[in-house]
Structure 1
């Protein structure tokens, strides 16, 4: 990895040229996707004197409850503590995800049962406009059939089942998410109350020694942006990526913008396009054009 390209605080190494975000419901009965765009002017003044922009998409499942909760709280959680202030963006993301998960558990134990049976994946991007550094949750397929994920699940005492021809933990076809507390400690270790149908499928032998079958540990990558380059950042839910390849998504965004559409229109058209037809998922896209100051 190359060293970050540092620039004086009065001059941006990276300039946001345009940002747009949109969601489409597809043929699903409800919209469970959420997204968040936080431009520099909406971010509290920080001691590091860097200007940041933060983007996130939340792909809910089971209900919209967890995705909506995360959207409301992730931004403020990023600013708590000293990690973001000190420029430790990776730590800030990890801490925000952990605190959000702890809050979901607290509210679940206080009676918000939906947090036990619904969840959301999260993709977060922090862009440092002064130093040209982008930190984001790496887009990986965290699926139960992944050998490392399957090993982790089984080591925790869970079972990956293939009854529906898709690898699942209980009824869930992913292995990392916020929420889904029925598959996590301490709820999956509750030997006193009745088990949910999902827990019965996922758990071999419920006991206090079981680990969490579903993890909320994020995958994070840091990218140093060059001042002589231009970048297109696309954050999408799987309602987009299950229809279009990554290269096609970027090409669609680039081509439509070069054809005269504003970035918001580009995002609108992209999600409308992928939700046409039968059996289409919720789809969300945030498109961001970033220019290096020397480009």
Structure 2
């Protein structure tokens, strides 16, 4: 019997050794294939005729023709970056209807959205909060499409020299994304399609006054990019203290008032300052009939990440109307300060759509922020994203 058991054990050990050997051969084969691809790209650059460096394509600022050598370098860098698989950031998000009759808020998260050349072929993560007004159609449109448009704009940018350091190429791509999103929102109709600029659907007059705010963050290993259009906000918590990354676009803000009045618009007061007495914000996506005065151009802030960064909070005004940035950061800081990286799941907790909440500290922080806003009688929809920036 001992001999039989010994035979079985030796068979199992031989199978494990064989399996390990197969895996090692497979990994070695993949490495050799990637080296051959990189070598092929480099050899093609030596044999090809190079183009003049720095020639820009017409009509698209920041987009340049690549040389053959830069194409080879890009291929090699791309292969190297693919071998690196960094963990995506931990985040928590929650969105509730609150005391409103309709849900007009939307949130969008896309970790590892793309690996553009502008970021050295390393991952870019996308986070967005969209607060609709006049209905939820434009905010839903932003949730469905803005990340895809952002990916297209980032991936089409080609870098020459150290142009990526100044941030202008990033700004150009982000601005173009908001511009395209606004064009799509202006053409929106309720009959199931999108019109053209010369043939706008008139199926619902309500769409003429429908729009959405947009606060979007692009997160990289080195930087935090925040683009804001409207009165949703982004706040960075650094060493336990809040750093505002956005300023609300209100019609009575001095620079916004000058811009609107310079375009022939009026600021009228009806339950607060409003553009033409209608819209309580000076920038938004959509709002077809107010487009002459209400722009979709975002304000963009680029922030270098530091060791003391704890979290980034993106939220609609349903939160900020009743919570200060200081209190929000204090709540998240206390959640993160608890022992362990994972919070215990609270029985019965469910998201706005009925999904069970994840058990990360970021989820706990987002849940507590929502609960506190509801306890303070917030009258609006409330949407929050908490992104863990700790290393």
Structure 2 residue ranges without an equivalent (≥5): 1-79, 159-163, 190-199, 228-244, 344-359
Tell me the residue number matched to 1:218: 298
Partner of 1:134: 224
The aligned residue for residue 234 of structure 1 is 313
Offset of 1:126 from its aligned partner?
0.4
Deviation at 1:159, TM superposition (A): 1.1
Determine helix, strand or coil for the equivalent of 1:267.
Answer: helix
CA separation of 1:112 and 1:175: change in aligned 2, threshold 3 A: farther
Q: Partner residue of 1:110?
A: 201
Q: How many residues align?
A: 251
In 2, Cα distance between the equivalents of 1:62 and 1:268? Answer: 27
The answer for the alignment partner of 1:205 in structure 2 is: none
Counterpart-to-counterpart distance in 2, 1:167 and 1:34: 25
Instruction: Quote the Cα distance in structure 1 between the aligned partners of 2:89 and 2:186.
Output: 39
Ranked by relative contact order (alpha carbons within 8 Å, sequence separation 6 or more), the top structure is 1
SS in 2 for 1:244: coil
Which has the higher mean CA deviation after the structures are superposed, 229-238 or 242-251? 229-238
TM-superposed CA distance for 1:107, in Å, is 3.0
- Answer yes or no: is the 8 Å Cα contact 1:15–1:290 preserved in 2: no
Distance change (3 Å), C-alpha of 1:166 and 1:248: same
Taking structure 1 as the reference length, the TM-score comes to: 0.77
Residue of structure 1 aligned with 2:273, choices 167, 188, 199:
167
Equivalent residue of 1:39, what SS? strand
Q: CA deviation at 1:256?
A: 2.2
For the structure 1 residues 279 and 128, does the alpha-carbon distance in structure 2 shift closer, same or farther, using more than 3 Å as the test? closer
Bigger helix fraction: 2
Q: TM (normalized to structure 2)?
A: 0.59
Distance of 2:289 and 2:381 partners within structure 1: 24
Q: What corresponds to 1:61 in structure 2?
A: 133
Whether contact under 8 Å (1:33, 1:60) holds in the other structure is yes
Q: What does the per-residue CA deviation read over 1:68-89, in whole Å, with 9 as the maximum and x for residues that have no partner?
A: 0011110010122456654632
Q: Whole-Å Cα distance in 1 between the matches of residues 309 and 282 of structure 2?
A: 34
Deviations along 1:54-110, whole A, 9 cap, x unmatched? Answer: 111001111111100011110010122456654632222111110011112233512
For the pair 1:153 / 2:260, whether they are aligned, the reply is yes
Q: Give the conservation status (yes or no) of the 8 Å contact 1:78–1:84.
A: no
Residue 366 of structure 2: which of 256, 259, 267 is its match? 267
Gaps in structure 1 of 5+ consecutive residues: 1-7, 185-211
